[in-house]
């Protein structure tokens, strides 16, 4: 929030925001400490999994990390700004198909694919934000859902990237210096997850984050006190889209084959919303907790309960969390504190 | 082979389930180690869009495992199935296969059902040089060219050449040579390849394509498609569709009284009991692609006994009641594995792959060999015609006469009736 905006809040005598301002400004962000801890934690994970020496750990880890990226991205728009995005699968697929298209056209590998996916999905987010500026609440959500449907129709009819038949990516068996392709994919997604969480945290603790929170609480009041709502929403939709695209870029390399049904799977859209809600939307740590908890539970249920019962259990977990912890786990701890 | 009662099977299944669950959860590791079973691992769609066929496939595998164990196992070791539900989500498949190979340390892996689920498992399997038996994939190995991949499907190596060939053989039986064809294909891999094959054969035979469109898988109203075909007045109609679309097409064609000389094509779903029970007489004279029909020409040794067991268990397992589609092939796939293991005499992935490339297999779905790409060396796409259907009773589909085989000629069991829509 701008200084002018803060003065305006005081001028109109809005007690709650006035009380909140010093609290928001008070704590030091400790950015350097965060990045250091994140890198150390990441390194510990890589070393730990290599010591265990089991390839499955990389795949299970990849599954959870991709949801950390996705739910952190969703949280920037949905958690901070209060704009619920149902089109996560669409942005993710945009990233995945950008990587496929670049590989087919120029033979580019995963890493340039990720950069391009972030750029393309970011542009898509910017365009979506611009086109849906006047929409709020459920209307915005429906618009994002429609975007996923439009994108899926486009991909189904785009034969160059496989169309309805899907596209194969024959990946190399080894990627030195990594011990296996699984470890390589894990490390790539780990780096992306650290970046996504770091960006999410930086946004939350910056003026941008406070502006988005003002939009979430009352967009008209925020506009009235000088918050540049248009600019902030465009930045949020662009960041959200770019990070979701980045999460999708490794998907064809991970599975070796991607068809529109898999890329636009409803599971991505549902999990991208459910994980921040369970962990605590509006906080950078909430999506991480939600993704580890729900993603870990889904992965564990898949490889232990070999029947449709796993969906039933995961469904009930969602219902219980939403009923008992409506503000997520972070919110529950904060209330107790 | 001795028949067994439902109660006996229930007890054995319960014991197998407890042992299997114990193995997965690590509750009874000592028990499992003591028996030293041959562990066969796979992911299967037990929930989600492909669960119908996934559950039928699993039941066929379980029947096979029970029978093999009752005979003393393979190489003196019992077989144990270790399986997980892939929820029809391709994203879960690489993790499941890594767990099967690295944590559960299964001896052999077979595939999930079908192409979209098989493909994500391929890189994992290839990395470990494991022999991979797949079920009802469509050209997966064209991209990977893995020499230890073996696909149980009648389609063969070159789907464009083989898939619709039988349909045009049937068309040649018409009293007046057909001059035009309408083609409609769903926007998915299988249907697009099937449509491509129909186009190729139509061109080859000088038959004019008067309608050629794809439709999105989300289509719910097929009346406009059928009406457009009707206005083009084709002699032949080739539709490549998945179960919900097949149902919509048949319903729309009957509502609009569309009566081309031949109506059908690669309509997946028409092979299933639920479809046959739902549509009954509306299916009369429909000519469609199939993999099995209980006609005298396909009465391979063992298939009737297998189907009797399957049909006894299917209602309880809530899967396809007839088992005329995937189940015999799933059972046959496991028979092929059994024959390879018996010949090789040990679990040696390279030797097993070499054996599967070199030898012929004799199963309840007939004899076959694998090609270099691991597909059936000789394709066997059946084109059957529903005849004499008077009601929705499923019993008739257990006997010859309801689904008459028209092509290929080696399996022909009746004569073509025409046009579609005439009383059967």
Assigned token pair, A220: 């008209």
**In this predicted model, what pLDDT tens digit does every residue of A33-88 receive, in sequence order?**
999 999 999 999 999 999 988 889 999 999 999 999 999 999 999 999 999 999 99
**Dist. CA B106–CA B125, nearest whole Å:** 12
**In this predicted model, what pLDDT tens digit does every residue of A148-168 receive, in sequence order?**
999 999 998 898 998 888 888
Of B414, B357, B416, B407, the closest CA to residue B380 belongs to B407
Between CA B402 and CA B411, with CA B407 as vertex, the angle to 5 degrees is 75
Give the model's pLDDT for residue B150. 97
**What are residue A36's DSSP bridge partners?**
none
Query: Looking at CA atoms only, how far is residue B3 from chain A in angstroms?
Result: 28
Nearest CA in chain B to A164: B188
Assigned token pair, A163: 């169309």
**Dist. CA A224–CA B69, nearest whole Å:** 77
| Residues of chain B contacting A58 with CB distance shorter than 8 Å | 98
Instruction: State whether B193 and A165 contact (CB < 8 Å).
Output: yes
Nearest to A164 among B95, B127, B187 (CB): B187
Query: What is the ipTM metric for this complex?
Result: 0.77
Query: Looking at CA atoms only, how far is residue B94 from chain A in angstroms?
Result: 6
Give the model's pLDDT for residue B14. 45
Task: Choose from B18, B94, B140, B244 for mutation: most chain A CBs within 10 A.
Answer: B94
Q: Domain residue spans in chain A?
A: 29-265
Of B186, B240, B160, the closest CA to residue A259 belongs to B186
**Dist. CA A270–CA A251, nearest whole Å:** 17
Asked if the model's pLDDT at residue A320 lies above 60, the reply is yes
**In this predicted model, what pLDDT tens digit does every residue of A262-282 receive, in sequence order?**
899 888 998 999 999 999 988
**Dist. CA A27–CA B378, nearest whole Å:** 73
Of B222, B224, B168, the closest CA to residue B194 belongs to B168
Give the model's pLDDT for residue B13. 46
- Exposure of A187 by Cβ count < 10 A (0-12 exposed, 13-18 middle, 19+ buried)? buried
Nearest to A170 among B85, B144, B217 (CB): B144
Instruction: State whether A168 and B144 contact (CB < 8 Å).
Output: yes
Average pLDDT over all residues of chain A:
86
Give the model's pLDDT for residue B130. 96
Q: Which CATH architecture has domain B160-297+382-411?
A: 3-Layer(aba) Sandwich (3.40)
End-to-end CA distance of chain A: 27
Helix axes A88-106, A137-156, angle to 10 degrees: 30
Task: Choose from B26, B88, B98, B105 for mutation: most chain A CBs within 10 A.
Answer: B98
| Residues of chain B contacting A59 with CB distance shorter than 8 Å | 94-95, 98-99
How many interface pairs between A and B have CB atoms less than 8 angstroms apart?
127
Q: How many CB atoms lie within 10 A of CB B30?
A: 9
β-pairing, B149-152 vs B132-135, is parallel
Nearest CA in chain B to A168: B143
Instruction: State whether B102 and A265 contact (CB < 8 Å).
Output: no
| Residues of chain A contacting B123 with CB distance shorter than 8 Å | 170-171, 181, 255-256
Instruction: State whether A164 and B214 contact (CB < 8 Å).
Output: yes
Instruction: Give me the torsion for CA of A200, A203, A205, A206, rounded to 10°.
Output: 170
Instruction: State whether B119 and A257 contact (CB < 8 Å).
Output: yes
Give the model's pLDDT for residue B35. 65
Give the model's pLDDT for residue B132. 97
Q: How many CB atoms lie within 10 A of CB B372?
A: 11
Query: Looking at CA atoms only, how far is residue B63 from chain A in angstroms?
Result: 18
Give the model's pLDDT for residue B365. 97
**Dist. CA A244–CA B166, nearest whole Å:** 47
| Residues of chain A contacting B90 with CB distance shorter than 8 Å | 255, 257-259, 262
Same fold, B6-158+299-368 and B160-297+382-411: yes
- For the domain covering B6-158+299-368, report its CATH number: 3.40.50.2300
**In this predicted model, what pLDDT tens digit does every residue of A174-191 receive, in sequence order?**
888 898 899 999 999 999
Q: How many CB atoms lie within 10 A of CB A195?
A: 17
Nearest to A306 among B24, B116, B120 (CB): B24
| Average confidence (pLDDT) per 10 residues, chain B, 424 residues | 46 43 38 71 89 93 97 95 90 90 94 90 92 93 93 93 96 96 90 94 96 89 96 97 92 95 94 94 96 96 96 94 96 97 96 97 97 96 96 94 96 95 64
Give the model's pLDDT for residue A308. 66
- DSSP alpha helices (H): ranges in B71-145? 93-98, 115-127, 141-144
Q: Domain residue spans in chain B?
A: 6-158+299-368, 160-297+382-411
pLDDT greater at residue B255 or residue A28: B255
Distances in Å between the alpha carbon of B263 and those of B202, B290, B386?
Answer: 15, 15, 11
Nearest CA in chain B to A308: B47
Nearest to A168 among B91, B119, B187 (CB): B119
């Amino acid at each position: 929030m701008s200084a002018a905006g803060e003065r305006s809040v005081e001028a109109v005598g809005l007690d709650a925001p006035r009380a909140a301002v010093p609290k928001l400004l008070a704590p030091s962000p400790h950015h350097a400490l965060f990045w250091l801890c994140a890198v150390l934690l990441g390194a510990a994970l890589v070393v730990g999994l290599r010591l265990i020496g089991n390839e499955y750990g990389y795949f299970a880890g990849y599954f959870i990390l991709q949801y950390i990226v996705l739910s952190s991205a969703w949280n920037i728009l949905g958690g901070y700004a209060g704009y619920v995005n149902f089109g996560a699968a669409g942005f993710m697929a945009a990233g995945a198909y950008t990587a496929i298209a670049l590989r087919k056209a120029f033979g580019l590998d995963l890493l340039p694919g990720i950069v391009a996916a972030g750029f393309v999905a970011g542009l898509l987010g910017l365009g979506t934000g611009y086109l849906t500026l006047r929409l709020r609440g459920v209307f915005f959500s429906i618009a994002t859902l429609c975007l996923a449907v439009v994108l899926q129709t486009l991909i189904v009819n785009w034969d160059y990237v496989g169309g309805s038949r899907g596209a194969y990516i024959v990946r190399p068996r080894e990627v030195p210096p990594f011990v296996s392709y699984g470890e390589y994919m894990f490390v790539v997604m780990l780096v992306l997850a650290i970046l996504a969480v770091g960006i999410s945290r930086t946004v939350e603790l910056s003026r941008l984050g406070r502006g988005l929170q003002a939009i979430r609480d009352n967009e008209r009041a925020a506009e009235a006190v000088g918050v540049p709502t248009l600019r902030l929403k465009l930045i949020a939709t662009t960041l959200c889209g770019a990070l979701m695209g980045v999460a999708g870029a490794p998907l064809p390399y991970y599975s070796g084959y991607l068809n529109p049904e898999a890329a636009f799977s409803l599971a991505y859209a549902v999990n991208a919303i459910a994980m921040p809600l369970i962990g605590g939307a509006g906080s950078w740590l909430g999506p991480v907790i939600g993704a580890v908890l729900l993603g870990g539970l889904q992965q564990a249920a898949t490889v232990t309960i070999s029947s449709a019962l796993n969906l039933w259990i995961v469904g009930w977990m969602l219902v219980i969390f939403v009923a008992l912890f409506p503000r997520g786990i972070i919110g529950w701890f904060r209330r107790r504190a | 082979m001795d028949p067994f009662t439902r109660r006996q099977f229930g007890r054995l299944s319960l014991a197998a389930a407890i042992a299997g669950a114990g193995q997965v959860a690590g509750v009874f590791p000592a028990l499992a180690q003591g028996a030293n079973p041959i562990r066969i691992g796979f992911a299967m769609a037990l929930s989600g869009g492909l669960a119908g066929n996934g559950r039928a496939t699993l039941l066929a595998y379980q029947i096979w495992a029970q029978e093999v164990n009752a005979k003393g196992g393979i190489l003196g070791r019992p077989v144990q199935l270790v399986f997980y539900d892939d929820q029809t989500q391709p994203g879960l498949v690489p993790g499941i296969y890594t767990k099967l190979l690295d944590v559960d340390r299964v001896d052999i892996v077979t595939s999930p059902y079908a192409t979209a689920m098989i493909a994500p498992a391929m890189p994992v399997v290839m990395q470990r040089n494991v022999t991979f038996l797949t079920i009802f994939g469509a050209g997966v190995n064209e991209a990977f060219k893995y020499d230890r991949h073996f696909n149980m499907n009648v389609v063969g190596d070159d789907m464009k050449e083989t898939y619709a060939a039988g349909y045009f053989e049937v068309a040649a039986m018409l009293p007046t040579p057909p001059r035009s064809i309408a083609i409609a294909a769903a926007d998915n891999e299988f249907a697009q390849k099937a449509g491509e094959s129909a186009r190729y054969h139509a061109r080859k035979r000088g038959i004019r394509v008067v309608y050629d469109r794809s439709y999105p898988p989300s289509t719910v109203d097929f009346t406009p498609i059928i009406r457009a075909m009707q206005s083009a007045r084709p002699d032949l109609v080739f539709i490549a569709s998945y179960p919900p679309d097949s149902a919509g097409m048949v319903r729309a064609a009957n509502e609009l009284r569309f009566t081309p000389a031949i109506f059908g094509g690669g309509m997946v779903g028409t092979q299933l009991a639920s479809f046959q029970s739902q549509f009954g007489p509306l299916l009369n004279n429909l000519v469609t692609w199939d993999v099995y029909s209980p006609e005298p020409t396909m009465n391979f040794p063992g298939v009737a006994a297998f189907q009797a067991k399957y049909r006894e268990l299917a209602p309880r397992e809530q899967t396809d009641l007839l088992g005329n589609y995937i189940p015999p092939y799933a059972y046959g796939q496991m028979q092929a594995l059994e024959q390879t293991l018996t010949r090789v005499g040990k679990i040696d992935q390279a030797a097993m792959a070499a054996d599967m490339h070199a030898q012929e297999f004799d199963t309840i779905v007939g004899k076959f060999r694998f090609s270099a790409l691991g597909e059936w060396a000789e394709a066997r796409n059946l084109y059957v015609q529903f005849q004499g259907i008077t009601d929705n009773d499923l019993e008739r589909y257990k006997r010859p006469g309801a689904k008459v085989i028209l092509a290929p000629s080696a399996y022909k069991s009746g004569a073509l009736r025409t046009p579609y829509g005439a009383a059967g």
